[in-house]
Every structure is written in structure tokens, then in C-alpha cells.
Amino acid sequence: MRSGGRAPNALRTVQLTPHVNKYAEGSVQVEFGDTRVICLASVEEKVPPFLKGKGTGWVTAEYAMLPRATDQRTPREVTRGNPSGRTHEIQRLIGRSLRAVVDFTKLGERTIYLDCDVIQADGGTRTAAITGAFVALVLAARKLQAAGVVTDMPVKDYLAAVSVGTVNGTPLLDLDYNEDSKAEVDMNVVGTGDGRLVEVQGTAEQRPFSRENMNALLDLAMQGIRELITLQRQLLGLLE
Amino acid sequence: MRSGGRAPNALRTVQLTPHVNKYAEGSVQVEFGDTRVICLASVEEKVPPFLKGKGTGWVTAEYAMLPRATDQRTPREVTRGNPSGRTHEIQRLIGRSLRAVVDFTKLGERTIYLDCDVIQADGGTRTAAITGAFVALVLAARKLQAAGVVTDMPVKDYLAAVSVGTVNGTPLLDLDYNEDSKAEVDMNVVGTGDGRLVEVQGTAEQRPFSRENMNALLDLAMQGIRELITLQRQLLGLLE
Amino acid sequence: MRSGGRAPNALRTVQLTPHVNKYAEGSVQVEFGDTRVICLASVEEKVPPFLKGKGTGWVTAEYAMLPRATDQRTPREVTRGNPSGRTHEIQRLIGRSLRAVVDFTKLGERTIYLDCDVIQADGGTRTAAITGAFVALVLAARKLQAAGVVTDMPVKDYLAAVSVGTVNGTPLLDLDYNEDSKAEVDMNVVGTGDGRLVEVQGTAEQRPFSRENMNALLDLAMQGIRELITLQRQLLGLLE
Amino acid sequence: MRSGGRAPNALRTVQLTPHVNKYAEGSVQVEFGDTRVICLASVEEKVPPFLKGKGTGWVTAEYAMLPRATDQRTPREVTRGNPSGRTHEIQRLIGRSLRAVVDFTKLGERTIYLDCDVIQADGGTRTAAITGAFVALVLAARKLQAAGVVTDMPVKDYLAAVSVGTVNGTPLLDLDYNEDSKAEVDMNVVGTGDGRLVEVQGTAEQRPFSRENMNALLDLAMQGIRELITLQRQLLGLLE
Amino acid sequence: MRSGGRAPNALRTVQLTPHVNKYAEGSVQVEFGDTRVICLASVEEKVPPFLKGKGTGWVTAEYAMLPRATDQRTPREVTRGNPSGRTHEIQRLIGRSLRAVVDFTKLGERTIYLDCDVIQADGGTRTAAITGAFVALVLAARKLQAAGVVTDMPVKDYLAAVSVGTVNGTPLLDLDYNEDSKAEVDMNVVGTGDGRLVEVQGTAEQRPFSRENMNALLDLAMQGIRELITLQRQLLGLLE
Amino acid sequence: MRSGGRAPNALRTVQLTPHVNKYAEGSVQVEFGDTRVICLASVEEKVPPFLKGKGTGWVTAEYAMLPRATDQRTPREVTRGNPSGRTHEIQRLIGRSLRAVVDFTKLGERTIYLDCDVIQADGGTRTAAITGAFVALVLAARKLQAAGVVTDMPVKDYLAAVSVGTVNGTPLLDLDYNEDSKAEVDMNVVGTGDGRLVEVQGTAEQRPFSRENMNALLDLAMQGIRELITLQRQLLGLLE
């Protein structure tokens, strides 16, 4: 039995609260159950060296957790001097996923930073971060459109992410921390509004998994992504 | 004229929202106007090496700002590899201030970490952090009392902090960012429930200041601290 | 047309040269075409703190490239002071993959380090590293068995990895650098001797991909893994 | 009884030995009793990025202690990789204090570095450093004047600093290390030749302090600063 | 008796295998017995800041060991964040030695990086690295000549290096690790094709040594260098 | 003509001023002309891990320069986060040299740190540091003897160091900075009271040097070392 009597294929309660920061060009607080992430989009009028003078833009992400976002306090990464491997992996994943739905020519020669700071963690922080960062990105793009800096919406399609996993042989959607720590297989999936895939990262946590198990998990993830995108659409409407 | 028609000796709207985190032993979100800081108290059952085996405890603080807490995005300190001088200075101030009202024998051989993370900054983040961290500290102490881990309340007196400064020759209470950036003199004051002082840090930003000016600022600060402690008391009641 | 007239579903020439180092408990040089990686297994009679006293062992991996393993010289990571995000991601993948086929109770309370150093890179360095590290791991385990330190073979099943990708709409097996840089979708797959999966990491490099495309790539990868394991088996025989 | 029979309001023997380095544009060794600091002023013909092209200059300070400046050897900060919080705090204080008496337009677009290296520490190193750095700064400014690089003396007023503190309820001037370690309140004050204040940093070391105590300490500090400036004036004469 | 019955004045078997890397402008694997170093020369069309615009070039070296190049696994230097003192010392020695035989005007405004990576270490890694790096340097220079980028051979004379030492009172040439760890005196000597010296670094490991002992070691080293240069000449022929 | 009319084989004026620090177990300021180094010996009652429990001691050295010890201000190494290659090389040399004359069994299980801080640099800082550190070491050893902590003098013989070099074809003793920067060959030599050698580090700065040149430089260095040891002996007397 899942916490709160949730069905195996049910998402946790998802909340998207926009405009939570008065400075950022786009901002949203995303909640997947008790997982809570502030996603802020900041526009800077410059690009990384490898894009200078090409007329196209860039999107990059940074991810961090407050020390007590977790059950046990985790020391700040600045104390050890550099981001952990886990942090690197997650922020690379967020940036790569969002770039998959951006038309950089339409964005023009500027960078959008997506800062995803986990205020409270209960499993699925990276997928909540991607789902929230997408909203912040669209809000920032609209601000650029409203200011006449950008003509056409540079975001091409909706994008959301969800975790799935096998616990005691049962495929589950949107694992909380407790489920995640017992999962035999753990998979993070990023997908788009037109039903395609952007990232699939499946990992055998306890034992190798079969192709059939993988397919069941992917089915579940794609259903969850459709539901998340429905929620995003209620907030953002048409991308234009 | 101050923003929102505020009088020179008026605080901004101050909010203390407790229990904003499900893991921390004590938690509060503190707002001084648009300045918003999450203060979390975490108890760890160990002490720094210099206190080991002495039966007394420790309180320490860490401070950070989300990258887009500020008008312009500030790169994360983990990117440059270590906390800035400003961060060091502020977190040392917070820790030192709170230790001034703790009875470490009553706390016993354990450490309370106070993590102050600035979600949005509009001046006075360090004084808001001290004011909020005090609340988180008391909440954590009460949790230790409730669990029977600690017998007597280890916090001896109320504690709050406020900034004051001289702008265009006028002493002002609780400066916002815009005022702070124009101040000739800038002072942070930490005081206790019995009207005494814990820290006074006054700095000539543009020109040296007279002893009279200093006295006027201190008067203003002590009034502000009394008001802040009244708010804390409404939330926390007697320290016992 | 692929380089050397290779068929879309053909591996490059794969070589596994064992015993390339006189100190390491297990050593192999693995080549996938012009990609050349030295994989060394080192046994240390201690475990990470979280395993101390539990009687079970650990396997971990480190990955690096010589500065001129690549077409343009890449500065050493020690110069910038810490491993890049890419390095973190790869060495975490290698370690996690190998741990999936190890019985840590049979290994006993000791750690096997797998150092994968890329001497020359032409695409697929992480999958070559996993395929080679598996061989080094088995050689080290056999040395422990021969010395009577370990009784039963702690490696439970064969393991190999390969990259697949879609280039100009065509699914290709084992991409070289030139193909990889043009791929629309890029996927790294780690699988076992019994035909199951350990890791699937698929990424849309240029545009989101369909479920069908994903299935075609997985088919190709699983075929490649079978062939790689056949080569490993010729060298290592039965795992017992 | 204070060491050497010193009165509560007496400074230790203060010595200012100029021209202790053959390369620096300004140099002085300052001694407050057994506290000994070498203060060197170095002129560089460039300014920090935020001042480039504005025609005005900058003054900045760095502070360090030799490892055996203290009773117990302190490891070098380069060994741990970055300056400690204490070092950051002190060098920020020194730089800020000196900038309060500099006319940057008269200095022109150049930077003066003030390096304060503590050769031997016996309390009050930061206040000795400020007092000595002021002398080095004026000597460097005179060298610039003599060379015709700068027309008018860019230093507007004298500046000195002293520590005060309450020990066993008695306010004391210029604490040595032994007194400092027992002080209930510790205050560092920086003041100018015209009797105004530049920095006041008061800290409750053991218990909160009253406004009256603060006033008594400030009186004592302002007297000490007057005496220190008298000594500086004997060495430097009129600032013109 | 030396390992393998080697005479006191005999080198170990020395092998120079060129062209071991498909990207580097010059590459060689050098072996002194079981010591094995990959030396790669990389040409970059820029120079350090202090040479910019002067029309002359630069040669610099980097040195590293694979973790299991040694009998016991040595943690990677990137893990501790910076190169060790030993690494600094060796790479400075390699760069300085090679610069002694380069005509930088003939090289033109470009830098040649010499990366020396020790694959397996059995004593004498720095002298093997210098001997091999010389070959890689000449191969790179010839590639520049062949491409018409450089007109005249910028390498002026042959260069090789060897270690000598006193073990049980007997001067030995080309110490392996076992001999090196027992040596009373240890000396590394770098010399040229015309019989002159570039570096002499002699160190008393266990007790101070006499001038006579030093002379005997230098004689032995100069003989070894002549033999090494004979081997280099067989591979490279005339420097023109 | 050398500065001050000095003969080619003449040392600069050398001064050894003992007891310059009130905390260190041994302290001396050493001057070779305008080169000025403070050498402090600190005793700590512990040893590095590899010596724990063996009953023998250790001697180690650290070296640094004040930023304005040099003609142009050099940024502090703590700013870049770690000691430079030059610093590593020098402090390793100082420590190794001094260890060559210490009987670690007589010292007992404790460490002597030798901190050599260059206050002003005019060539030969490392040789002045070794010469001064030797004096500080003996003073500290005598303090340990006087306190009854150590029975027999653990320093076995005198030790001093000097630089020599060839300038315009002439061998010169004890080069100042100006001579050093023009030297064709540069050699640092460390020797003992009984006329033996501890370190010889000769480097071709501009062109390779002959064996004859090397011999002439060594003769000159050994003469200089004898004279330096005479000065040390006048201060310290018999080592007993």
C-alpha cells in the first residue's frame, strides 16, 4: 500500500505556484507531494564563449538542496569546495532536457539560467525540478516577448519529467523517498507534449531488469508525463 | 519619502511563519518586507572537537543566498569554491549573536545548526536571519524538551536584530536595499529582551560619523529590537 | 557509409589485452577501434565508512582521459582542481554498473577500485571502459580466489556496455567520435550475460525521439552486448 | 593589575618604524607592545573592473599572520586552500576603514594595496594593522606626489584604531592577548583626526552589555585613538 | 647483485616506440625496464602572456602517474585538488630541461606541451620522461617543418636524462625502484649530445656525500646519457 | 663589477640575529645582503602518520614570501588556493636538507616545523632560509635539552647553503637578484661542517654547461659554505 492510499499509477499531488520571486524573469514553486523546489529563470544578455557572435542563445541549469531539505542535515557543497557528482549529474540533466525544446535562433544571443533549489526533498527532486523549470522558462520567454526583446516564442513544445520504479516487483509512478530507497529499478523519464522522449535513464538498483519490465515502466512514465503536461497547460496555455 | 510611506522609525511589515519544513527540529520563514529568509534549526548529537567530553553544547550558523535572491543573478559560491568574505562575516555574526543567549550546560553536549537561506533579498538579510534563527532555535529547544532530551529551556533571553542607517542626514530604521545603497552610515544592532546589546556594527559608508549620530542610530535600533521581540513573544510566549 | 565500410549493426574491431600492468590485481587494455582504455583493478583491504564491520565489500570506479587522448589537447582536470561534471557522471556510471553483478558477501570486507584511463578516445570511451573494467574485475577476483582470500567467485554474471545512436535517421551500433557528434539520439546501454539490462541512458541530442526509435536502438544495443560478452567469455571462460 | 602595571586607560608602548622595506612605495613596522605588524603599501597602475575608466582609484587590504606569530603554531591558510572567515573579516575591515579617508579622485585611476603581515601577535593585531597601514598609505601617497604622479595629497584625514573591552567589569584600553581572552565585551573602534568614527564593532563575548557600558568603552577608545594619531602626526606632520 | 644480473654501469633495456597516438603531433612510449611512460607533444598556436607578441615560442611539460602505476595504488591528484609537490618539481624539471635545447626564435610564437604520463613506474620515471619527451618534441618539430609552419629545426641538440645513485657504497647507473629506495645518494642528471650538462640534482638520502662520490656518480651518468642519446639518434637521425 | 665592489668569491654581508620571536622554540632573522628571512622553529609533540609509534621524530619546513618581498608585488598564494610549484620545490629542499643532519632517534617522537618567511628578497632566499633554519633548529633543540625533554643534541653537524652561478662566463658566489637574473648557470649547494655535500642543484639557465664549469662552481660553493658555517659556529658554539 502506497502512502496516502495512492494507486500504483497515480502521481502525488502536484502544485505549480508561479511568480514566487520579484526579481526573476520567470519563477515557480513546484511541489510533487512533500518535494518542494523553487525554479527561477534568469535572463543574461551574454552567451558562453563557444556561441559568441553566432546569434543563437543558450539555456543552462543549476541545482542545489538546502542543507535541511533532507531528513538528516547534509553539509553545504560550498563547504567541501565543489559540487558533488550527484549535483553535476542532475544539473546537466536539467539543462540538457530543457534545451531539447528550445529554438535558440528565436531566443537570440542570450542565456537563460534555470536555478532549481530544493527547499524540501521527498524523492523525485530532479523530475520536479525539470517540470518546474519548464514553467519558469516559458514565463521568462513570455517576459522577453512582452518586452519586445524576442519576437517568437522560443519554446517549441511542452516538457515534463517523472520518476518510475519497480518496488517489490510492482511498477510505481512518481516514487517518494521511502519507495525510492526500496526500488529494484529506478527510472527517470523526460518527455514532450507530442508524446516523444527526451531522456530515459534507467538503473538497476538491486538486480538487472528485463526488457519487459523496462517497457512497463516506460508506459507508466509516459502516462505521468501526459498528466503533468496537462497541469502545465492549465497554467500556461498555448505556447505562442 | 520612504517606500510605502513608511515613517523613519517604522519597521517594514514583519512576518514569522513557523513550521515551514517537515524535517528540521525548528523552522521558520521570516519576512522583513520583501526580504525573505528560511531559518532551519538542526540538532546533531555531537560537538566540535574543542568541546568534546565537556558536557556543554554549541550553536553555529550558516548563511547563503539563492542566486536570484538579488536583482541581478549572483553566481553560487560553490562555483568559486569557497564562501565569500561577506558570507563568512555574516554567518559568524549570526552564530556569535545566538550563542550570547544560550546556556550551553542546559543544552548538553549537542550542536544546533542554524541554516539561514535567503530566498529573496531586499536589504537587512542578516538582521532578518538573526531574528528568524532565534525563533527556529527556540522551537528546536522546545522539541528537545518535549522529547525529554533536555530538561530546562537552554535559551536564556529573547534576541532580535535590526539595521539602521543615516540617509540624507536622517536616521532610518530597518533599511530596504534602495535605502541601504544610499546610506552614509550603516549599522547592524543585535539586542536582547532585557534591553541589552549583543553586537553593534557601525560602518561609515561615505563619510566618518559623529558620536551624536551614532547615539541617534542606536536609539532607533533599540526601539526596533523591542518591537521585533514583541512579535517573537506573540509566537513563542515565555521562555521556559 | 560508415568508416571502414562498417555495417550499421557492426561493432568496431574489439580487442581485450589482459595483464598489461605488473602491479594491479587485474588489468586489461580494451580497444573499440581507435578508442583505447587501460582498465586496472586494485584490491584494498578496507571499505567505505558506511560498510565498516558489515562483512560485505565494495566496488568503485575512477575515470580519466590523458590530455591528448582527444583531437584537441584537453587541460588536465587537476589543473582546474576537481573532476568535471562529465567525469563524475561517467565514473559513477561505471561503478554502479559493475556493482550490479557483484555479490558483496562473497567478496568480503574489501574494496576493488577500477581505474579506467583513456589513452586514446574515438567515441564510446565509457562503454569500452565498462566492458574492460568487467574483465579486470574478474581477473582480480580470480587472483583473490587463487590466494585463498575469497572462496567463491563474487562476480555473478557477465557484463558489457555499448553505445547506439541514430544518425541521419538510421540506428547505428557502437558510434565512433565522428558519428557521435552527428547523432540525433545517443544511448548507452549496459547489459548482462543473461540478457537483462543494468543501465539505459538515452538522450535526445537534436530532437526528441519516439518510442519506436528507442526500441530499435535498444534491440541493436542488446545485440552488441551479446557479441561483446562472447569476446569476454573467450578470454575468461566460466565465472566460477 | 594589568601587565607591566599599566593603567586601565593606558595604551601599550606604540612604535612606528618607517621604511622597513626597500621595494614598497610605503612601509612601516607598527608595534603595540608585543604585537608587531609589517604594513606595506604597493601602488599598482590599475583598478578593479567596476572602476575601469572612471578616473578614480581604489584602496584594498590583505592581512595574514606568520604561522608562529601566535603562542601555538597556526597552520598556514594556503594549506587549507583559502583565507579563514577571521582573515576575510579583518582584511575587509582594514580596507573599508582606510577608504573612508581617501579622496579617490585625487588618487587617480590606480590601486594601493595595503599588506598587513603579523610577525608577532599579542592582541589587537587588526587595530595595530589599521594604525600602521594608515602610515604606509600616507608614505606611498607622498611618493606619488614626489614623483608628480599625483598632485594633491589624496588622504583627507588621520585615521587610527584601537581595541577596548570590559574585563572583570572594568573598561580597559588596548587589550593584550591575555586580557582579550578574558573580556566580557570586546570592541574595535576606528576613528579620524577630527574626532569622528569610521567603524565601531562591539561584541558581547560572555554576556550582553548595557548601553552605559558601551558608552564607557567608546569614550576610552576615542581617547586612545587621539593618542595614536598624535604619534602618527609626529612621524608624518601635516597631510598636504 | 642487481636484478637481472645487470652490471653497475649498465642501463636497463631501453625502448623508444614512436607514433603511439593518432592525434598528437609527436608521440613516443619510452621504457626503461619496467618503467613505462607515454610522452605526447601537442602544438598550440599561442604562447603564455609574458611572450605574447615577441615572435618566440615556449615549451612546457606536465607529468602524472596512473593511480596503479605503483605497487600500492596512489589516489589521483585531482581528488586532493592540486598537483603534489613532487609532481610540480618533476614537471618543472622536464620543461626546464627541454627548453635548454630549443631555439625559440626558430619555433616561432607557439607552445609545445609535453605530456608525460607514467603507465607503470619502476624507478627513474622523471629521467625516462625527459628522454622520451625529447623524442616527442623532435617528432612534433618535424611535423611543423613538414607542414611548412616552421622552416628550421628548432631543436638544437640531443638531450637525455638518467638517474644514478650510491647503494651500499657502490655507484649504480639507472636505478630501479628497489635500488632507489635503498640508495644513500640519489642523483638525476640531464645532458646533451655535445657532452654538456643541463641539470644536476644530487641529494643525500641517508648521509652527506663526498665530492669524490659526486664525481664518480657524474661520470656514470654522463656515460649513461651518451648511450641513451645513441638510441635516440638511431630513431631520429640528424637534427636538421 | 659586482654591486658594492664585491669580489667574485665574496659573500654578501651575512647577519644572523637570534631570538626575534617570543613564542617560537628557536628563532633567527637571517640576512644575506638585502635578502631577509625570518626562520622560526616550532616543536610539536606529534609526528606524521608514517612515523607514529616508532619513537623517532621528524623535521619539516614551510616557505613563503610576503607579497611585497619582491620588486613587483606578488599576489599571495592563498588567493590562488595552493602553493606554487616554486614554493613546493623550495620547502621540500629546506626540509630534506635539514633532515640530513638530524638524528631522529635522539629527537624522539616529535616534529620540528621550520617556517621560513621571506620579508625581503634579493636573490638566494632558499639558501639564506636553509642557513637560518639550521640556527633556529639548533636553538630549538637546545631548548628541548634545557627542559630535559631531549637528552642528547639531535643535530649531528653544521649545515649551510649558498648559491653560485656563472655570469658572463665568470663563476660568482652568492648571487643577488640582479646577477641571478643574468646567470647562464645557477647552482644551489647545501653542505655540512665536515665538508660533505647534502644537495647539489645545478641548472643551465641559458645554455648547457661543461663539467669544468660545474667543478669551478662547486669549489666556490664549498668555500662559501665553510664561511657561513664559521658564522653559525660563532653564534652557536659546539653542537653538544
Alpha-carbon distance C67 to E23, whole Å?
A: 11
Please tell me the predicted confidence (pLDDT) of residue A80.
82
Q: Residue D81 burial (CB < 10 Å; 0-12/13-18/19+)? A: middle
ipTM of the complex: 0.94
**Residues of chain E found within 8 Å of residue C34, distances taken between Cβ atoms:** 22
D31-52: pLDDT as tens digits = 999 999 999 999 999 999 999 9
Neighbouring C-beta atoms of residue E82, cutoff 10 Å? 20
Find the residue in B nearest to D186 (Cα).
B199
Average pLDDT value for residue range A11-18: 98
Interface of E with C in 51-90 (CB under 8 A): 62, 64, 66-71, 73, 76-78, 81-83
Q: Are residues A200 and C201, on separate chains, in Cβ contact within 8 Å?
A: yes
Contact B67, A78 (CB under 8 A): no
- Tell me if chain C has a CB within 8 Å of the CB of E117: yes
Q: Distance between CA atoms of A82 and D82, rounded to whole angstroms?
A: 13
Lowest mean per-residue pLDDT among A80-84, C102-106, D24-28, D180-184? A80-84
**How would residue E171 be classed by pLDDT, with cut points 50, 70 and 90?**
very high
What is the rounded radius of gyration, in angstroms, for the C-alpha atoms of chain A?
Answer: 18
CB atoms within 10 A of CB C226: 15
pLDDT band, residue B61 (cuts 50/70/90): very high
CA distance F130 to F159: 8
Subunits close to F (at least 3 CB pairs below 8 A): D, E
Q: What's the structural domain count of chain B? A: 1
Q: Average pLDDT in the E35-51 region? A: 97
**What are the residues whose beta carbons fall under 8 Å from the beta carbon of B87, sequence distance 6 or more?**
B63, B64, B77
Which residues in chain F (16-55) have CB-CB distances under 8 A to chain E? none
Q: If we measure between CA atoms, which residue out of D64, A59, C65, D215 comes closest to residue B218? A: D215
**pLDDT number for residue B179:** 97
| Residues of chain B with C-beta less than 8 angstroms from the C-beta of A29 | none
Interface mutation target, options A63, A78, A111, chain B, most CBs of B under 10 Å? A78
Residue E32, C-alpha cell as written in the block = 626503461
Contact C73 E113 (CB under 8 A): yes
Contact check, Cβ <8 Å, F82/E81? yes
Amino acid at C206: Q
Q: What is the pLDDT of residues C193-205, one digit of tens each?
A: 999 999 999 999 8
Best residue of C197, C207, C215, C219 to probe chain A, by most A CBs closer than 10 Å: C197
> In percent, how much of chain F has pLDDT > 90?
95
Query: Taking the model in full, what pTM does it have?
Result: 0.92
Contacts of B73 in chain A (CB under 8 A): 42, 44, 113, 115
Give the mean pLDDT of chain B: 96
Running DSSP on this structure, what letter comes out for residue C19?
-
Q: How many CB atoms lie within 10 A of CB D145?
A: 16
Residues of E in contact with F195 (CB under 8 A): 210
- Give the mean pLDDT of chain E: 96
Nearest to C158 by CA among C234, C91, C221: C234
Pick B85's closest partner by Cβ from D88, D208, D209: D88
How many CB atoms are closer than 10 A to CB D238? 6
What is the predicted pLDDT for the residue at F233? 98
Q: Tell me: the pLDDT tens digits for F48-96?
A: 999 999 999 999 999 999 999 999 999 999 988 889 999 999 999 999 9
Considering only CB atoms, E214 lies closest to which of F84, F96, F197, namely: F197
Question: F78 vs D73: CB contact, 8 Å cut-off?
Answer: no
In this predicted structure, the answer to whether residue F210 has a pLDDT above a threshold of 90 is yes
Is E126 annotated to bind a ligand? Reply is yes
Nearest residue in chain D measured CA to CA from F41: D68
Q: Report CB contact under 8 Å: C198, A211.
A: no
DSSP D74: P
Beta-carbon neighbour count of residue A130 at 10 Å?
32
DSSP D81: T
- The partner residue sitting opposite F119, judged by closest CB among D38, D71, D83, is D38
SS3 D31: strand
Disruptive mutation site among E39, E78, E122, E139 for chain C (greatest number of C CBs within 10 Å): E78
**pLDDT value for B222:** 98
Position B79 pLDDT exceeds 90: no
B chain contacts of residue A82, beta-carbon cutoff 8 Å = 78, 81
Across C33-175, the runs of DSSP E, i.e. the strands, are 35-44, 58-65, 111-120, 159-167, 170-173
**How far is C-alpha E170 from the geometric centre of its chain's CA atoms?**
24
DSSP summary character for residue E155: B
pLDDT for F80: 82
Closest partner residue to F214 (CB to CB) among E91, E101, E200 is: E200
Whole-number pLDDT of residue D206: 82
Contact in structure between F21 and F40 (CB atoms under 8 Å) = yes
- All residues at 6 or more sequence positions from E69 whose CB lies less than 8 Å from its CB, including other chains: C21, C23, E118, E119, E120, E121
Q: What's the maximum distance between 2 C-alpha atoms anywhere in chain D?
A: 56
Q: What is the mean pLDDT of chain D?
A: 96
Confirm if B26 and B116 have CB atoms less than 8 A apart.
no
Percentage of residues in chain C having pLDDT higher than 90: 95
Q: Where are the alpha helices (DSSP H) in E62-176?
A: 77-80, 85-99, 104-107, 125-146
For chain A, give the mean pLDDT. 96
- CB proximity list for F218: less than 8 A, separation 6 or greater: E211, E214, F164, F187, F189, F200
**Chain A touched by C201 (CB under 8 Å):** yes
What is the band of C29 on the pLDDT scale with cuts at 50, 70, 90? very high
pLDDT of residue A82: 86
**Coil vs helix vs strand at C214:** helix
Which is more confident, D80 or B87?
B87
Query: For the domain that residue C19 is a member of, what is the CATH number?
Result: 3.30.230.70
What residues in F contact E229, CB-CB < 8 Å? none
B126 marked among binding-site residues:
yes
What is the pLDDT at residue C166? 97
| Alpha-carbon distance C5 to nearest alpha carbon in chain A (angstroms) | 31
b/e per residue, F169-205, with b = 16+ CB within 10 A? eebbbbbbbebbeebbbbbbbbbbbeebbbbbbbbbb
How sure is the predictor about F104, in pLDDT bands with cuts at 50, 70 and 90? very high
Show residues of chain B in contact with A27, CB under 8 Å: 68
pLDDT tens-digit readout, E103-143: 999 999 999 999 999 999 999 999 999 999 999 999 999 99
Long-range contacts of F70-73 (CB under 8 A, 24+ apart): F70/D23, F70/F121, F71/D23, F71/F177, F73/D42, F73/D44, F73/D113, F73/D115
Length of chain D: 240
Residues C130-179: tens digit of each pLDDT: 999 999 999 999 999 999 999 999 999 999 999 999 999 999 999 999 99
- Interacting residues of F237 by C-beta distance below 8 A, sequence separation 6+: none
Q: How far is E2 from chain F (nearest CA, A)?
A: 26
Scored b (16 or more CB within 10 A) or e, C36-63 reads bbbbbbbbeeebeeeeeeeebbbbbbbb
Q: Is A126 annotated as a binding residue?
A: yes
Query: Does residue F207 sit at the D interface (CB-CB below 8 Å)?
Result: no
| Angle (deg, nearest 10), helices A125-146 and A85-99 | 40
Written as nine digits, the cell of F192 is 655540512
Write the residue in D200, D204, D210 that is nearest to B100 by C-beta.
D204
Rounded Cα gap, residues A140 and A149, in angstroms: 11
What is the spatial distance between Cα C18 and Cα C43, in angstroms, rounded to a whole number? Answer: 17
User: What are the tens digits of pLDDT across the range A100-156?
Assistant: 999 999 999 999 999 999 999 999 999 999 999 999 999 999 999 999 999 999 999
Q: Give the tens place of pLDDT for each residue, E139-157.
A: 999 999 999 999 999 999 9
Residue A208 to chain B, least CA–CA distance (Å): 33
Nine-digit cell string for B54: 565537556
Give the residue carrying C-alpha cell 621550520.
F114
Model confidence pLDDT, tens digit, residues B92-136 = 999 999 999 999 999 999 999 999 999 999 999 999 999 999 999
Structural domain range at position C133: 3-236
Query: Residue F79 has what pLDDT?
Result: 87
Per the structure block, which three cell numbers stand in for F132? 637560518
Q: What is the DSSP letter of D209?
A: B
CB atoms within 10 A of CB D66: 25
Judging contacts by C-beta atoms under 8 Å, the chain B residues touching residue D222 are 211
Q: Is B125 annotated as a binding residue?
A: yes
Predicted pLDDT at A13: 97
